[in-house]
Amino acid sequence: MKNIFAVAGIVIKELYRRKDFYVLFILTVLVCLIMGSVNVFNDKHVVRYLKELCLLLIWVSSLVIAITTTARQIPAEREQRTLLPLLAKPLTRTQLIFGKFLGCWLACGLVLICFYIFFGALAASRDHAWPLLNYFQAAFLHWIALGVVVAFALLGSLVFAAPSSNSTISFVIVATILTLGRYLDAVALAQPEPFRSLVYALYYAIPHLEIPFEMRNLIVHDWPLIGWNFIALETLYLLAYAVAFLVAACLVFRRKPVN
Amino acid sequence: MNVIQVESLTVCYQKPGLKRLTFDAVKQLSFEVHQGEVFGFLGPNGAGKTTTMNVLLGFVPPTRGAASLFGIDVRQPIARQRIGYLPELTYYYKFLTAEELLRFYAKIFSLPHAETDRRIDQLLKLVELEHARKRPIKSYSKGMQQRVGLAQALINNPDLLILDEPTSGLDPLGRMKVREIIQRLKNEGKTVFFSSHELGEVETVCDRVAIIHQGELKAVGRVNEITGQHASLEKAFLDIIGFQTTTAP
């Protein structure tokens, strides 16, 4: 476990010493502040649009950070040849994969804390309310969903040769799941066999990230809290996918030549 | 007990392509390295030196034969507890300082905090990087990067040091510094196993050498035995690998 935390610590250090996060954070802040300073249609509920936009930007930024940070981890270790002295020490490949995963996931958690604090402050400046538990539920499921994305991108970094191709493919797949994943069953119904079975199989095989994504509505429309049992079940469901991707990554990495 | 024991080692790689053709990168290689000696591992490019090192480090499994470090099969991660490894031309994490890098590697060896601090001070002094310990590695010259690499290889106070082309790409001053460090480690009783193309350097620091060509061991012994009738180790090396010089003497 010590080795996993040591590797994770390096990933977190890398994130806060690079400029990616700061650029995305400043962009999000600027866009939200500019949008928040105008009321185009004199709509008294304009704060909802502002919150929706801000949460969407937080989702996009967090996905960009999660995917790009994860996608470059193992390829950079290979390219810079730091993988060699690392694996020449009493560190197993499985520990390295889990360390990289934990580091990227925790780094995403830190990023989300910054983003949600900004969001809370922005919303409170207009709404004069702090629905902290709603924010916690949304941010928590958001973080768990990023765990699936990080594990998926980590697996991709071992399958695809270049970090850029992995980032693009991962981003397209995650965006498709977030926007179209829930409609696959309806698509399946309209298909003849054997496509119907295939689409159904795909519907049940993909990790459904829609619930964490739609938690934005909980905050935007001031809906009541979701049951904690449901949050726990959703967490287990998503973590099962993250573990499955990690196990696959370990199996792929075990067969990969080091140099 | 030998520090390194390689017995009838054969490593086959698959050639890229649809046909599942293989070639032997290392063939029936046998040698041993004794406690406290500096052992040079020589051969032209593609001779199988790095493959052999990769087997010793557990990166590549032997196809046939066996290799052990301190009597432990190289496939066991515990075999790497007492070794330090410096790969050729490595660019360490640019966003870390030398001190942070060494602290990270010390954590992997589960060194206690006080011991880690002591070793970091000692190693940065040894590789003459004390003045740059708080500077990010991205600001280091090539020679400084190589020396920080040497420091990371020594963080666990290893009994065996495996160095892959430790002076590759360094200027004469950098080479001399690395050579001095190897010499100092030898005086401390460490076993050093290193590959190099710098035969003059090998002649200076090595007790014994092995020459490998096309995956096969061509010669192994003390430097003066290998040099024999030849004027230098370089001439002996060229003769052993069967290289015919085209220029007139």
Give the tens place of pLDDT for each residue, A87-105. Answer: 888 888 999 999 999 999 9
CB environment A199-232: b (16+ within 10 A), e (fewer):
bbeebeeebbbbbbbebbebbbeeeeebeeeebe
pLDDT value of residue B15: 73
Say whether B109 and A10 touch across the interface (CB within 8 A): no
pLDDT value of residue A140: 95
Say whether B108 and A90 touch across the interface (CB within 8 A): yes
pLDDT digit string (tens) for A195-233? 888 888 888 888 998 888 888 888 888 888 888 999 999
Say whether B156 and A89 touch across the interface (CB within 8 A): yes
Separation between Cα atoms, residue B150 and residue B53, nearest integer Å: 17
pLDDT value of residue A49: 84
Cβ-Cβ contacts under 8 Å, A18 against chain B: 95
Tell me which residues of chain B have a pLDDT lower than 70. 17-20, 244-249
Q: Is B57 on the interface with A (CB under 8 A)?
A: yes
Show the tokens assigned to B211: 């020459």
Say whether A257 and B108 touch across the interface (CB within 8 A): no
Beta-ladder partners of B208: B39, B222
- Compute the C-alpha angle A215/A217/A222, nearest 5°: 110
Structural contact between residues A231 and A238, judged by C-beta atoms closer than 8 angstroms? no
Residue of B nearest to A9 (CA): B104
Q: ω into residue A257 within 30 of 0, thus cis?
A: no
A91: CB partners within 8 A, 6+ apart: A3, A7, B77, B108
pLDDT value of residue B246: 60
Name the B residues in 122-151 with CB < 8 Å from any A CB: 149
What residue has token string 């052993």? Answer: B240
pLDDT value of residue B75: 84
Cβ-Cβ contacts under 8 Å, A2 against chain B: 107-108, 110
Distance from CA of B247 to the nearest CA of A (A): 37
Q: Is B86 on the interface with A (CB under 8 A)?
A: yes
For chains A and B, CB pairs below 8 A equal 82
Q: Which among B77, B86, B96 is the nearest to A13, CB-wise?
A: B96
Say whether B105 and A80 touch across the interface (CB within 8 A): no
| Helices within chain B (DSSP H only) | 49-56, 98-108, 113-126, 142-153, 172-187, 199-205, 223-227, 233-240
Q: Is B195 on the interface with A (CB under 8 A)?
A: no
Give the number of residues written for chain A: 259
Say whether A85 and B54 touch across the interface (CB within 8 A): no
Determine phi and psi for B156, rounding to 5 degrees: -95, 15
pLDDT value of residue A104: 94
Sheet hosting strand B64-69, strand order edge to edge: B22-33, B4-14, B64-69, B72-73
Cβ-Cβ contacts under 8 Å, A91 against chain B: 77, 108
Regarding an ipTM greater than 0.85, the answer is no
3-class DSSP assignment, residue B93:
coil
Distance from CA of A20 to the nearest CA of B (A): 14
Cβ-Cβ contacts under 8 Å, B104 against chain A: 6, 9-10
pLDDT value of residue A125: 83
Say whether A6 and B104 touch across the interface (CB within 8 A): yes
pLDDT by position in tens, chain A (length 259): 888 999 999 999 988 888 888 888 898 888 888 887 776 677 777 778 888 888 999 999 999 999 999 999 999 888 888 888 888 888 889 999 999 999 999 999 999 999 999 998 888 887 777 888 989 999 999 999 999 999 999 999 998 878 888 889 999 999 999 888 888 888 888 888 888 888 888 888 889 988 888 888 888 888 888 889 999 999 999 999 999 999 999 999 988 877 6
pLDDT value of residue B220: 87
Name the B residues in 4-23 with CB < 8 Å from any A CB: none
pLDDT value of residue B17: 67
